[in-house]
Amino acid sequence: YTIDTKFPGARIQFDEWVAQTNQQAPPGNPTPAWGLSRGPDPVQFNIRSNGTSPFRGQNFSARNVSYWDPNLRNAYSMNWNGTVQRELSQNYLLEVSYQGSAGIGLLENWNINTFPVDFARNDLALRSQVLAASQNFRPFPHFGNVMMRSNFGHSTFHSGTAKLERRYANGMFFSTFYTFSKAINSQDSDNAGSGVAPIQNRSLEKGRAGYDRSHRWISTINWELPMGKNKKFSPSNRAVNWLLSGFEVSWIQTFESGNPLNFTFQNSPYNYYPGFAGNRRPDVVSTPSIRDGWRDIGGDRFNVQNTNAVVEMSHFALPGGCPQTLPAVGTQARTDLLNACSFLVGNA
């Protein structure tokens, strides 16, 4: 195994709190508040006996902090592979191989100042309070996001490759191979991320990596043209022979499948918990597929929001939530509707 621990360039573990004050002339006074020769007036800050200063603002959700796990350890990776070769003839070789790897204890950032996406699901009164003032129900209500850096990450990679190779002979060499693979992880970048997966099951954020390519076919060929001195076609004229000698034709081609797509939604008629409680994604109601006639993007091709979708959107649905407009308080209709609300944020 190998060890590869990388720490951030920014001093995330040393957050600095900065206090600011403004000085200005009284209203109606056109003279400068102070001059360079005198400098600003003395500034008095409210300092506690322990050397700290109280927070004077009202927006606690904007007070984001970073926290490093005191038990942070080195991440490591494991690699394993196997190969079988078969010589088909003197110059041809067939090779079948498997390669796998796993990243263990990778460093990632996760928000620990959150609550489960189904919080207060069976408590109508509490659910209404959470929707009205969700900041009050965070574990640390006087802070916004508390990003904890720890060994949260895990990644896996599996691939199978079939390769056919022609060894160099008679001026020609070629190699072609096809790989079927899958890479999954919880964050594409090492030692980064702003994960807000459901706190009760962070593995829900693990899926196909952004760089995953299921299919890849690569071929290369190099052919020395049989013309010139000591070749099959060797003109008797020395000048012509010299001009035609030493030419090669090379070809490299790559075909591969595209990267995974991420789907989001907007303009939903439902209310949801804030984003810190979980990522919002549409529900998958059937197997996604390309839309029939997907090459027709519509008449307004210069405005992306007006073009036709490539993927058939009927395969997706808005995740359930609470309607933004509810029946009157105290009515049975309101109670029934809120009891049916779901705060799951989607499975796409």
Give 192's pLDDT tier (boundaries 50, 70, 90). Answer: low
Are 187 and 254 in a shared domain? yes
Are 244 and 287 in a shared domain? no
Whether the predicted pLDDT of 276 surpasses 60: yes
92-111 and 192-195 beta bridge pairing: parallel
- pLDDT tens digits, 281-290: 888 888 888 8
Average pLDDT across the chain, whole number: 80
Are 169 and 196 in a shared domain? yes
35 in any annotated domain: no
Please, which contacts does 286-294 make with residues 24 or more away whose CB atoms are closer than 8 Å? 286/314, 286/315, 287/315, 288/312, 288/315, 288/316, 289/315
158 in any annotated domain: yes
183 or 62, greater pLDDT:
183
- Give how many domains the chain has, as a whole number: 2
Q: Which of 221, 237, 266 is the last residue of a domain?
A: 266
Per-residue confidence (pLDDT) for residue 122, from 0 to 100 = 75
Are 106 and 168 in a shared domain? yes
Q: Which residue matches tokens 């640390």?
A: 140
Please give the Cα distance from 69 to 235 (Å, whole number): 76
48 in any annotated domain: no
146-169 and 92-111 beta bridge pairing: antiparallel
- Mean pLDDT over residues 167-194, rounded? 84
At residue 84, φ and ψ (nearest 5 deg) are -125, 130
Task: Tell me if 148 sits within 8 A of 69, measured CB to CB.
Answer: yes
Residue 240 neighbours by CB under 8 Å, 6+ apart: none
* Tokens linked to 272: 């949801």
308 in any annotated domain: yes
54 in any annotated domain: no
8 in any annotated domain: no
Are 245 and 294 in a shared domain? no
Q: Which of 216, 237, 266 is the last residue of a domain?
A: 266
Give 102's pLDDT tier (boundaries 50, 70, 90). Answer: very high
33 in any annotated domain: no
Are 241 and 313 in a shared domain? no
Per-residue confidence (pLDDT) for residue 107, from 0 to 100 = 85
55 in any annotated domain: no
In the chain, the percentage of residues whose pLDDT exceeds 90 is 20
Are 157 and 219 in a shared domain? yes
DSSP-assigned letters across all residues of 196-241: ---TT-GGGG-EE-TT--SEEEEEEEEEE-SBSTTSSB--SSHHHH
Are 243 and 191 in a shared domain? yes
Task: Tell me if 22 sits within 8 A of 43, measured CB to CB.
Answer: no
Nearest Cα neighbor of 192 from 155, 156, 149 is: 149
Domain interval for residue 298: 283-347
Are 227 and 330 in a shared domain? no
Are 122 and 235 in a shared domain? yes
The pTM for the full model equals 0.70
Please give the Cα distance from 194 to 263 (Å, whole number): 18
Are 147 and 91 in a shared domain? yes
Are 85 and 224 in a shared domain? yes
Per-residue confidence (pLDDT) for residue 204, from 0 to 100 = 72
- Mean pLDDT over residues 128-156, rounded? 87
172-185 and 207-208 beta bridge pairing: antiparallel
